[in-house]
Amino acid sequence: MTKVFTDGLSFAIPLLIMAVGAIYSEKSGVTNLAIEGFQGFGAFVGALAAVLLMPVMGNGSQAVIYIAIAAAAVGGGVYACLHALLCIQFKANQVISGVVVNILAVALTTFFTSAANSAIMGNASNKFVLGVSKRFSVPGLSKIPWFGGLFKNMYPFELIIIVLVVFFSYLMYKTKYGMWLRACGENPQAVDAAGGDVVKTRWIAVIISGALSGIGGICFAYSILANFSPAIYMGYGYLAIAAMIFGNWNIGTTTLVCLIFGFAKSGGYQLCLALKLPGTYSDLFLMLPYVLTMLLLIFFSKRNHPPKAAGEAWDAGKR
């Protein structure tokens, strides 16, 4: 059971920060299917920073990981400007923009990774080897029966993400900016009439979306994959979007959905091990989060209430 909790959280928490990023974008009125691309490009920038720093600071340095997380946030935020430019300034179709941004991210990061490896190591590999982040257990809490497993063998980035989720929840629901952001997704004309800046609010929301997705991407690179490569584009961004939809664009309920996805993934894998099934069956059990996505789509899609103005280009002359 402890292993289910440990592995489930290590998957669910990075997924959650990406889902929060998607919520920010869509609550502002910008439909965002580009989470997968933000995740990958941010992870690439973070991994590149780590590869450049490891020879200087040491392969096992935890400081390198924290710098990589910060770099991934910057990289994801900068790359998100492309989606914001297309959707907000040029008023392109937001769904098509998201798909294009995702495809472009795969091509760019694969090329840049090979070029960087060729320049640094003389080997044109499309992979940055990072290793796995160290783990720790929370004293006291990890001794609690049953639920203590939630606090055992945690990655440091899990605590960082939890703090970020709390902060961005407060920013969205308890601040003036959060009020403007939510209003932009429901009635941008009312925001404009009240003196708010719809364009600025949406730009900030999309950049936040990219930064948080980049953090999620580098955390996956330092845990599940132990490297950065094109394999990081495994559909996690789309799974985060699914969690946002089933969470009804609410951070609290989206958190629960991400936990369900995480525990389904880890529980399925542990079940495969317990039944001593061949390794080929493990992929079937790892599909459980995606199977849950389809089932939730069938039963809960009619109850969803997305922001009314999501997907609509802002037109100041429209009333």
pLDDT value at position 58? Answer: 78
Phi, psi of 128 (to 5 degrees): -105, 115
Q: What share of the chain is helix, strand, coil (3-state, %, to 5)?
A: 75, 0, 25
Burial class (CB in 10 A: 0-12, 13-18, 19+), 122: exposed
Q: Could you tell me if residue 125 is inside a domain?
A: yes
Q: Could you tell me if residue 6 is inside a domain?
A: no
Q: Could you tell me if residue 285 is inside a domain?
A: no
Cβ atoms of 98 and 83 within 8 Å: the answer is yes
Phi, psi of 58 (to 5 degrees): 100, 145
| Secondary structure of residue 154 in the 3-state scheme | strand
Cβ atoms of 15 and 159 within 8 Å: the answer is no
- How far apart CA 261 and CA 145 sit, in angstroms, is 23
Cβ atoms of 270 and 4 within 8 Å: the answer is yes
1-38 residue pLDDT tens: 677 888 889 999 999 999 999 999 999 999 999 999 99
DSSP code for 136: B
- How far apart CA 100 and CA 97 sit, in angstroms, is 5
pLDDT value at position 227? Answer: 92
136-167: b or e for each residue (b if 16 or more CB lie within 10 Å)?
Answer: eeeeeebeeeeebbbbbbbbbbbebbbebbee
pLDDT value at position 122? Answer: 82
pTM: 0.93
pLDDT value at position 89? Answer: 94
Name the residue among 38, 49, 62, 90 with its Cα closest to residue 241.
Answer: 38
Domain encompassing residue 131: 11-135+150-256
pLDDT value at position 281? Answer: 66
DSSP one-letter string for 251-297: HHHHHHHHHHHHHHHHHHHHHHHHTT--GGGHHHHHTHHHHHHHHHH
- How far apart CA 264 and CA 290 sit, in angstroms, is 10
Residue with tokens 């989720």: 165
Q: How far apart are the first and last CA of the chain?
A: 56
pLDDT value at position 304? Answer: 79
185-195 residue pLDDT tens: 999 999 999 99
Name the residue among 244, 228, 243, 68 with its Cα closest to residue 157.
Answer: 68
How many domains are there within the chain?
A: 1
pLDDT value at position 81? Answer: 98
pLDDT value at position 172? Answer: 97
Residues of the chain with pLDDT under 70: 1, 146, 149, 279-283, 285, 301, 317-319
